[in-house]
Structure 1
Amino acid sequence: MTKSMTDALSSLASRMPRVVREHEVLRVAGWIPGDDPAAVANAAIGEVLRWAQRRCGGQLPPEAWARKSFDYLSGGRNSSCVRLQSGTSDLWATRADDPDKNVAERVWTTEVVVGLLPDQPAKFSARLLVSTPEADLQIEPHTPGFIQQVVENCRLISSQKLLSVAPTVYETETDAEDLIGYLIDPSRQLPIFVVTLAENGQADHPTLDTAALSRAMLGIGHVALLHPKATWRLTERFGKFKSVFGGSARVYLSGFSDDADPYIHRLVLANQLDTTDAAARATRWMRQLAAQESVLRTKLGRDVLSFAAIRDASLQLRQQNLRNEDASISDQLAAANDRIAALEKQVASLGSEQDYYIAEYEKERARAELSESQAQKSAHRIQHLTDQLTSKGNDPDHDIGLPSCWSELADWSDQNLAGRLVLTPNAHRGTRKPLYQDFETAARCLLWLATDGRNQRIHGGRGNMSNVTIMDGVQNASCGADTYDFDWNGRRFSADWHIKSGGNTRDPIRCLRIYYCFDPHTQQIIVSDMPAHRRTGAT
């Protein structure tokens, strides 16, 4: 009888050491302002060393305070530092280990790099990692304490914004304009967690401790506290569907814009924060999201440097200098052995890190497949219920009102046509300030697409949709030679149909075009572009 490899080795499993994986928890990247970059870099290094001194269980060697390379071994609380000076560049990097006080075999590792480059401000980056054999790591990320020390004593800028330990308070409409500008800034990398107050007179949210939340996410996320006057301005600019107010909280991820998908930027309603336990759950989720985004948005080797890479460069430079100086064979061999040992440690660490990322990838792939499956099931269920209502003489869309202007159309579509029709970001942008003025006709066409047009695609195919009159002067037709490909939600589609008015004119004031396709998987109409005629190779 044959056995699998796992069965054959099961008797040995209890004797084998548990696999320890290194997880990267968060990354911080920024720069330190100041007229003298060398002085502010030296001050930041001092803050990091003072923090490391309190945690090392002893006394750091004199080389540490002289800003030189050193190795400090202290029963698991080990610290190492590399100073790499080459030409006009100066890099200082440290790595410190700290065993968890409550969980056995869990070890926290902190890496910090402070760099000076010609004609640039002092660069600062940090990584927090954890090594553990735990199969299911459950933590609430918190940036290391030295980040707060650097922010308070040296200042630190990240994503073009000066970091603050306390939440940023926005009280007036003028304050709200500053926030709006930062929300839509395409260069912004850090997520913004906007917490609103339900009424005037409140100094803080009744259940969310925004001060503690801001400290925990310092360097990986901003916390904004909005008073009611400021929330009204957000609603006027982005619409209710993308705004936040009345004691609710919302995260605005990087890349947010006027045409962003509101479901990506998660909203936590006030009634989901009404108890201490509910607020604690929301806080935990916010901290985890900020940490995940920091690893996702910053690039290792560009925004954040690893200690291993700098140590290897230092050892390589040492070898080269020994060769140039014609040093003894024994000295060169010792340098080579040191570099080999460092590279072996780096390879082992990268292998552990790779295992972690593969495991995380598999989790995300499974989650994406489950989400897609559930979305398809929901779409079929919604269609089934809609057909039942229609068969009984009820019109589920009877009470849908039309938007009163172009600025409301995108939100109106997201709210009333969700699950049946979706506007791509390109279509969202087209509805901002178009030259075509008849927004009501455009809204009626979208409603037709989400109802009659979609039903015909589901039940009757495409054959009976060609040259269908939707209203006087407005028709649905095949794109023909104007068909084009576009990407949406990670997939490629062909916009092969469009709604048109204005005859053959291409005057954007009188011409309406809504380019779309039907996705059989989600059973949605996907509007790729509107409301102007699109320039193509055929036109």
Structure 2
Amino acid sequence: MDGGAWHISSDEDAEQLVAELLDSARAVPYMVCSVPDRETEPRINTQLLAKVTLGIARIVVIPASRTWVLTQQLGKPLSVYNGALRAYMPGFSYDANPYAHRLFFTAASGNDERARSTLTALRWIAANESVRRFELGTDVLAFSAVREASLDVERQRLKQAGSAEIEQLRAAQAQIDALKDDVRRSAETQQWLSDEHKSIEEHAQSLEQQLRGAQFRIHQLLEQIKARGDEPDAGIRLPDNWDAFADWCDEVLSGRVVLSGRARREIKSAEFDDAQTAARCLLWLANEYRDSRINGASGDLRKPIDEGIHNDRCGADSFEFGWGPRRVPVEWHLKNGGNTRDPRRCLRIYYFWDEESQLVVIATMPAHIRTGAT
């Protein structure tokens, strides 16, 4: 811990950064500061930021020539580039909510006020996360414990040196006063934690209501488009390749279909040779299938949905999938005809309906999964 920033200098460094961002055991935020195109330094003082957040955050400087690694592996919504800064919090994953990992845009050189404001915000993020995540007395040494140990040492020193009783009494009184101070601080901390817990609960409820409101608004706007006789996705351009597929899903299908972290990883190395067919399948899930579930259907839509593509039960290939704290059964998939397992010609999209969020969740795609039955 030298109080300095980590400067990414190679593609290998950038890949190591991605691995550390995705590490589930990571305990501190990573403040990733990108360097603008045709510039050599970030637009904030990263050395100062590294010094003041020593031990509670890691500061990373990534040049413009290396940010493509983050964009390729994490997708554009979760990347950081062109002078922006992002606070990647612990628990970050491929399917993380971009808004939970705040993105800051920096102004052109010379705007000192904007830079100071960004520095302050990043410092507060690191400090708040350390208070929330680190346990006093376990992860962090409590000052009261250090003070009490120091007073014990001093009292024992006086006793062994044969000091006068008045000096020993004074040392004992200092220790009593310190213990009283600890009790008072503990009571204040307990009250603060209670107030913070109440405030955070209220904030979480407010955010949940906003999310539900946004989802309802999306549904409302879709219905208005359909009422005018238009198709919500008319004129949508399908992705030409798998590199653009995840970003296309985030932009076009937001609020209707979501890719799991596993699906995002599989898409990056997909061998199926027709990304546009897979995209049309997701559009069917986002529209006809989702509408049927919202209107009360059971989801049993066993039918052809495109040329050579069917929606069918998984049968013996059904499996359970971890989604948040739950284990969800995956019993349906979209598939193309034939029994081939050649990954270049075999399409399988395994999905489930999440009633709580009113979303279709893609568990895995586009290859046939391996199960006990296969």
TM range (shorter): 0.7 to 0.9
Q: In structure 2, what is the equivalent of residue 194 of structure 1?
A: 32
Q: 1:494 aligns with which of 325, 328, 335?
A: 328
Q: In structure 2, what is the equivalent of residue 382 of structure 1?
A: 218
Q: 1:525 aligns with which of 354, 360, 366?
A: 360
Asked if 1:354 is matched to 2:354, the reply is: no
CA contact (8 A) 1:508 1:533 kept: no
Asked if 1:372 is matched to 2:208, the reply is: yes
Which is higher, the Rg of structure 1 or of structure 2? 1
Q: 1:454 aligns with which of 279, 286, 290?
A: 290
TM-score, length basis structure 2: 0.78
Structure 1, unpaired ranges of 5+:
1-156, 321-331
Structure richer in strand, relative to its length:
1
Asked if 1:163 is matched to 2:3, the reply is: yes
SS of the residue corresponding to residue 263 of structure 1 reads: helix
Asked if 1:303 is matched to 2:143, the reply is: no
SS of the residue corresponding to residue 461 of structure 1 reads: coil
Relative to 1, partners in 2 of residues 1:447 and 1:196: Cα closer, same or farther, differing over 3 Å? same
SS of the residue corresponding to residue 289 of structure 2 reads: helix
Give 1:369 deviation, angstroms.
Answer: 0.8
Q: In structure 2, what is the equivalent of residue 469 of structure 1?
A: 304
2:227 counterpart letter in structure 1: S
Relative to 1, partners in 2 of residues 1:312 and 1:437: Cα closer, same or farther, differing over 3 Å? farther
Give 1:440 deviation, angstroms.
Answer: 3.5
User: Residues 176-191 of structure 1 correspond to what in structure 2 (within 5 A)?
Assistant: 176-185=11-20, 186=23, 188-191=26-29
Give 1:511 deviation, angstroms.
Answer: 4.7
Cα distance between partner residues in 2 of 1:263 and 1:390: 30
Give 1:458 deviation, angstroms.
Answer: 1.6
Q: In structure 2, what is the equivalent of residue 411 of structure 1?
A: 247
Cα distance between partner residues in 2 of 1:409 and 1:274: 38
Compare 447-456 and 519-528 and name the one that shifted more. 519-528
Give 1:255 deviation, angstroms.
Answer: 4.3
Give 1:383 deviation, angstroms.
Answer: 1.2
Structure 2, unpaired ranges of 5+:
157-167
Between the two proteins, the alignment pairs up a number of residues equal to 364
User: Residues 161-240 of structure 1 correspond to what in structure 2 (within 5 A)?
Assistant: 162-164=2-4, 167-170=5-8, 174-185=9-20, 186=23, 188-201=26-39, 203-205=41-43, 208-240=44-76
Give 1:190 deviation, angstroms.
Answer: 3.2
Cα distance between partner residues in 2 of 1:456 and 1:233: 39
Relative to 1, partners in 2 of residues 1:524 and 1:291: Cα closer, same or farther, differing over 3 Å? same
SS of the residue corresponding to residue 241 of structure 1 reads: helix
Post-superposition CA distance 1:254-301 (Å, at most 9, x none): 444555443332222356999554444333221111112223343434
Compare 422-431 and 276-285 and name the one that shifted more. 276-285
Give 1:252 deviation, angstroms.
Answer: 2.4
Structure richer in helix, relative to its length:
2
Relative to 1, partners in 2 of residues 1:379 and 1:256: Cα closer, same or farther, differing over 3 Å? closer
SS of the residue corresponding to residue 251 of structure 1 reads: strand
Give 1:426 deviation, angstroms.
Answer: 2.9
Q: In structure 1, what is the equivalent of residue 164 of structure 2?
A: none
Q: 1:391 aligns with which of 202, 227, 238?
A: 227
Give 1:197 deviation, angstroms.
Answer: 3.6
Cα distance between partner residues in 1 of 2:138 and 2:65: 40
CA contact (8 A) 2:347 2:368 kept: yes
1:163 counterpart letter in structure 2: G
| Percent identical residues | 36
Give 1:245 deviation, angstroms.
Answer: 2.2
Relative to 1, partners in 2 of residues 1:401 and 1:450: Cα closer, same or farther, differing over 3 Å? same
SS of the residue corresponding to residue 10 of structure 2 reads: helix
1:477 counterpart letter in structure 2: D
SS of the residue corresponding to residue 291 of structure 1 reads: helix
